[in-house]
Amino acid sequence: MKILVCISNVPDTTTKIKFVNDYELDKTGIQWIINPWDELALTRALELKEASAGAIKKITVINVGAAETEPTIRKALAVGADDAIRVNIIAKDAYQTAKQIAEAVKDENYDLILTGVESSDSNGMAVGEMLAELLNINSAASISGINFDKSLFTIKREIDGGTELLTIKTPFLATVQKGIAINPRIPAMRGIMQARTKPLKVVEPKNIYNYVEYTDYELPKPKGKCKMIAADNVTELVNLLHNEAKVI
Amino acid sequence: MILTYIENWEGKFKKLSYELVSYSYELAKKLNTKVIALSIGNVNNDELTLLAKYGAHKIITVKNQQLNILDNKLFAEVITNVAQKNEATCIILANNTTGKAIAPRLSVKLQAGLVAGVESIPTNTQPFTIRKKVYTGKAYNNVIVKTPKKILTLFQNSFGLVENPQEANIENLDISTAESEIKLIEVNKVTGKILLQDAEIVVSAGRGLKAPENWGIVEDLAKILNAATACSRPVSDEGWRPHSEHVGQTGKIIAPNLYFALGISGAIQHLGGVSSSKCIVAVNTDKDAPIFEAADYGIIGDVRKVIPELIVAIKQTKK
Ligand SMILES: Cc1cc2nc3c(=O)[nH]c(=O)nc-3n(C[C@H](O)[C@H](O)[C@H](O)COP(=O)(O)OP(=O)(O)OC[C@H]3O[C@@H](n4cnc5c(N)ncnc54)[C@H](O)[C@@H]3O)c2cc1C
Ligand SMILES: Nc1ncnc2c1ncn2[C@@H]1O[C@H](COP(=O)(O)O)[C@@H](O)[C@H]1O
């Protein structure tokens, strides 16, 4: 059995977002990380492999990106992924990304593919399910738990006001969210050393058109000043919420 | 045609459903076309008819045993089928767990560009240009959809409800599908509680509350306001509150009319999930807490003192 985890390379979540002109992210000083959900997906994949008594043989990570994403890919190898693929292109949209991944892995027959529910930069919310469609496999979205027992996968899916427990036939893709794993793995020294020699295959991209074009950025309008109310005058707050903001 | 997929919850629609139809109607006006609302599952005609009030010109209903639980693959097949039969050029879904599960598959099937998580109608139709949030709410990006067909998913509570009454026919469509390879074992649901995503008012508390046993006042405040409760991430990580209450970048993203941030510092990842709220009230002991930069109204004070007083004051205005 083999698992594929799709990882995107994103600015650290505390990054103050700025643009060079209206069209380009200002990359100065940005720390790049594995997208938080992808990191949790990888963590869960590693846990499943370790508990599978050899049934799960390999975990591969894949990224679509330029050479500058390699430190992030090496981090995934350092926490325990067995090998990695990088498709050498900066994809312009979710469709291009998904299609490049599909082309790179279509003959590999992964039993399970994990992606995050969204990447924290583009918030595209699309690559995972597009990939499932391109590979024509089953899928489930917003998964907060995966278990594996004797070739049978059970998954926990978040629904409005609760969760569902499901079984799903392999091969399948799950887009994962919070709960799938609790704490992401931190690379240890030994892992970092090993990661240097683990296979990282670079594949050249296919010629694929994008469906949507991201153009200019805008920063949100600065908020008006916060109206401060004295702590001993909560009645004033209630009046404002009632008469001014009209929300209660 | 604009096709909008309308999910149901045990045979019922909710505000979000009507918001999708209202949005689709506005878009149809702009594109000079009509709205078809598609329902999959067991919904009776009285309920279906309600969609006409918000602008559906036609209502299609598909009932099929295989479609009783969400199977993304099968749902995408059915919606694609209906979209092709009706020559839909735009498909609108909710940006909730269901919409996000299906829309990308439709995008591939119909070769239609997808913009997920829109909040407003397109600023331009030639080329089709629409604004979307990126970097978890820290910026907006204008997106041009280059394909002839388009798919959008709409953030809940971003457009609102607009009535546009129509005389709509209900059409029953029989569409058969393969057998689902997803089997439901069990469902765990809390009933009788206002869902966080649906709530008009949300009372949220953070580590400033100090311990889980102090949540009584938070729940009391939520109760008198008919609000849902939420929390910051460390609070749910500690197990003080259920994970379902966690809001923020890695939790739920919400946009209520009123959001109370009680003892929450206002970290950038927290704001990512709540900054679209129409009005934010912050209560914090630290005058420099970043939450005050995001808030509309603020009180510098101890939650343990301020919340009980607030409850009393609200009770008085309600009288
Ligand atoms: C990748 C990543 C993703 C994350 N995602 C999220 C997310 O989705 N959601 C989220 O919330 N966080 C998220 N975080 C965590 C975030 O960075 C903050 O650590 C977290 O939001 C802080 O929670 P808090 O405000 O409850 O606690 P604190 O930061 O500890 O703040 C407590 C606040 O309470 C105030 N206070 C103390 N006592 C009182 C009192 N008696 N009365 C009134 N006020 C009082 C303090 O002044 C302080 O401002 C994420 C972090 C990372 C790295
Ligand atoms: N460039 C990329 N390379 C590999 N995987 C990606 C890439 N972009 C997105 N993904 C995967 O798709 C998920 C959803 O991303 P998105 O659709 O961009 O919000 C992410 O959590 C990743 O698992």
Give the closest residue to B24 by CA, choosing from B90, B81, B116: B90
Q: Is the pLDDT of residue B282 over 90?
A: yes
Q: Do A247 and B298 touch (CB under 8 A)?
A: no
Class of the CATH-defined domain B2-173: alpha beta
* 8 A C-beta contact, residue B151 and residue B91: yes
Model pLDDT, residue A204: 98
How many helices (H) and strands (E) chain B has is answered by 9, 16
Q: Taking residues B148-162, what's their average pLDDT?
A: 97
Domain with residues B196-317, CATH architecture: 3-Layer(aba) Sandwich (3.40)
To 5 degrees, how large is the angle CA A162–CA A168–CA A170? 145
Share of chain A above pLDDT 90, in %: 94
Place of tokens 């005389």: B167
Percent helix / strand / coil, chain B, rounded to 5: 35, 30, 35
Model pLDDT, residue B79: 98
Query: What tokens appear for B173 in the block?
Result: 């469509």
Model pLDDT, residue B318: 81
Q: Is the pLDDT of residue B133 over 90?
A: yes
Of B114, B190, B201, the CB nearest to A162: B190
Class of the CATH-defined domain A2-219: alpha beta
Q: Taking residues A155-170, what's their average pLDDT?
A: 95
DSSP state of B147: S
Q: Taking residues A179-204, what's their average pLDDT?
A: 95
* 8 A C-beta contact, residue A32 and residue A7: no
To 5 degrees, how large is the angle CA A189–CA A190–CA A191? 90
Model pLDDT, residue B230: 98
* 8 A C-beta contact, residue B179 and residue B65: no
Q: Do A133 and B76 touch (CB under 8 A)?
A: yes
Place of tokens 């010109």: B57
- Beta-strand (E) ranges in B195-296? 201-205, 228-231, 258-262, 279-284
Query: Which residue of chain A comes nearest to B299, CA vs CA?
Result: A229
E strand or H helix that includes residue A37: helix A36-51
Mutate to test the interface with B, among A237, A242, A244, A246 (most CBs of B within 10 A): A237
Whether the ω angle into residue A187 lies within 30 degrees of 0, i.e. cis, is no
Distances (CA, A) of B104 to A63, B23, B76, B268: 19, 20, 9, 28
Instruction: Give the pLDDT band (50/70/90) at residue A75.
Output: very high
pLDDT digits (tens, 9 = 90+) for A24-70: 999 999 999 999 999 999 999 999 999 999 999 999 999 999 999 99
Counting one residue from chain A and one from chain B, the pairs whose CB atoms sit within 8 A come to 268
Q: Taking residues B254-260, what's their average pLDDT?
A: 97
pLDDT digits (tens, 9 = 90+) for A92-134: 999 999 999 999 999 999 999 999 999 999 999 999 999 999 9
Chain B positions touching A120 (Cβ under 8 A) are 135-136, 249
- If you average pLDDT over every residue of chain A, what do you get? 96
Model pLDDT, residue B317: 87
Q: Is the pLDDT of residue B319 over 80?
A: no
3-state secondary structure of B205: strand
Instruction: Give the pLDDT band (50/70/90) at residue A193.
Output: very high
Q: Is the pLDDT of residue A161 over 90?
A: no
Check CB contact of B145 with chain A, cutoff 8 Å.
yes
Q: Is the pLDDT of residue A151 over 90?
A: no
In sequence order, the β-bridge partners of residue B210 are: none
Model pLDDT, residue B66: 86
Q: Do A237 and B297 touch (CB under 8 A)?
A: yes
pLDDT digits (tens, 9 = 90+) for A13-37: 999 999 999 999 999 999 999 999 9
Model pLDDT, residue B190: 83
Sequence spans of domains, chain B = 2-173, 196-317
Model pLDDT, residue A239: 97
Residues of B numbered 153-172 whose beta carbons fall under 8 angstroms of chain A's beta carbons: which are they?
A: 153
Q: Taking residues A139-153, what's their average pLDDT?
A: 94
pTM greater than 0.90: yes
pLDDT digits (tens, 9 = 90+) for B167-218: 999 999 999 999 999 999 999 998 878 899 999 999 999 999 999 999 999 9
Share of chain B above pLDDT 90, in %: 96
Q: Taking residues B51-61, what's their average pLDDT?
A: 98
Q: Is the CB of B237 under 6 A from ligand 1?
A: no
Domains B2-173 and B196-317 share a fold: yes
Q: Is the pLDDT of residue A160 over 90?
A: no
Q: Is the CB of B303 under 6 A from ligand 1?
A: yes
Q: Taking residues A150-177, what's their average pLDDT?
A: 94
